[in-house]
Amino acid sequence: MTLADQRNLTKSNAQFQRALKRLPLGVASSFRYWGDDRTIYVARGKGGRIWDIDGNGYVDYRLGYGPAILGYADARVDAAARKGMEVGGVFALSTERELTVADRIAKMVPGMDLVRYSNSGTEAVMAALRLARAHTGRDSYLLVEGGYHGLFDAAMWMADVEDWEAGSNRDPDIISYSKGIPQTLKSLAHLVPMNNMQRLEDVFRRYGNTMAAMLIEPIQGNCCGILATPEYVRLARKLCDEYGVLLIIDEVKTGFRVARGGIQSLLGVIPDISTFAKAMANGYPIAAIAGREDVMRTFGYNGAAHGGTYTAHSVSIAAAEECLRILDETDALANLATYGKTLQNGIAKILDDRNIVHSFTGHDSMFGLFFAEKAPDNYRDWKKSDYTFYDTMAHHLHDLGIIVEPDSREPWFMCEAHDQSCLSDTLKAVEIAVDQTQQDLEDAARS
């Protein structure tokens, strides 16, 4: 019997076949499709765990890609959301809580003078880029290879590492990572590798006077938590100032998670614009664009357009008010980071006992695991690395009741509700999954 045989997915498989007739890939987002016979449908979640419709329970380290920072169905946030529901929903008018939450954000994140709201991280970054263009009067922009800024045309450009030779004197070609992206937009997007100071300076020298913004995720949330060095981000800040480019730090995943002030506070860099989303309201849909006053006041009738029918919905804004209060006024962030560090130590011991080379990157609250002596610090090295061990192990972890992204792109996310039972269950499963993965790879090598 294989590990997969121990997990019954009969109901999820049947639901997939029914859903396939009405939903592309049988799901509402392509990233939820894990294969015809492995895609699961969630029945409920509580704390750090979820249960699928077959009754299988899982310790969850995806947490919706990070939003459930306090854990699923947190009683405090849900109670606040119900009070928000009593307000009445959506009015396309403002409520007092918009200012209350904006004041909290400005208190937590230095340099964020003014705030506007959106419904998702993608919308927030779209608005931030539009704002930068309106403020500077320029059109082009700079992206860091491996960064993820949402599913909109301007952000969906990547380095074609597959057809690139490492060590060559040329950069990889820039390609879109979806069909349907107008190729005419490519001329506006410039890409640089993470943590390469020389290439960053070269691109600014060549294009700096034409760029509206540089967008960067200092912890790459869709590239296994690869971390920018403080020196790299500080150089970016210096170059942006020198060339009149606005620095946008995308904190959609890191904001209010790695620290009260986000990753920017740990790096000691204040951007012109920041975007926040995932951890703002413990899973209720809300996002924010924040920044320095003169830039943010470009939003207006004679500047950059911004709005949205559901923006600052009464339920989401009430949930955000309570979630941010908890993150700001309690030890929640320290506690979940401590859990993450303890989990890393436990995984490291299992791998050390088997002489398996490994490394971690990112932050204790959202870390990446690599089966290499040193974690890559840029997308090119990650893409050229061997992640066979991780991908194989991830599938075994699913069968053993541990949910992680089924490939190595996404970090493991921690929540305040992860407890000792979650830790114990996880480490038991990791030990079994590691041994099974070793066996699988040995069998494959012999065949």
The structural domains of the chain, with segments of one domain joined by +, span 3-72+331-446, 75-329
| DSSP SS3 for 320 | helix
Q: Which pLDDT does position 330 carry in this prediction?
A: 98
pLDDT at 1: 54
Instruction: Name, in order, each residue with C-beta under 8 angstroms of 229's C-beta and a sequence gap of 6 or more.
Output: 195, 377
Q: How many degrees, rounded to 5, is the angle at CA 334 between CA 332 and CA 339?
A: 95
Burial of 2 (0-12, 13-18, 19+ CB in 10 A): exposed
pLDDT of residue 236: 98
In single-letter form, the type of residue at position 394 comes to A
Per the CB < 8 A criterion, the answer to whether 282 and 319 are in contact is yes
Domain covering 3-72+331-446 in this structure, CATH number: 3.90.1150.10
Q: Determine the Cα–Cα distance for residues 105 and 290; give it in Å rounded to an integer.
A: 8
- Predicted TM-score (pTM) of the model is 0.97
Give me the CATH code for the 75-329 domain, please.
Answer: 3.40.640.10
Cα 391–396–399 angle (5° rounding)? 135
74, 282 contact by CB (below 8 A) = yes
Estimate to the nearest angstrom the gap between the alpha carbon of 83 and the chain centroid: 29
- Number of Cβ within 10 Å of residue 241's Cβ equals 12
10-residue block means of pLDDT along the chain (447 residues)?
82 98 97 96 98 98 97 98 96 96 98 97 98 98 97 96 81 94 97 97 98 98 94 98 98 98 98 98 98 96 92 98 98 98 98 97 96 93 91 97 92 98 98 97 91
| pLDDT (0 to 100) of residue 302 | 84
pLDDT value of residue 164:
84
pLDDT of residue 408: 85
Q: What is the pLDDT of residue 163?
A: 80
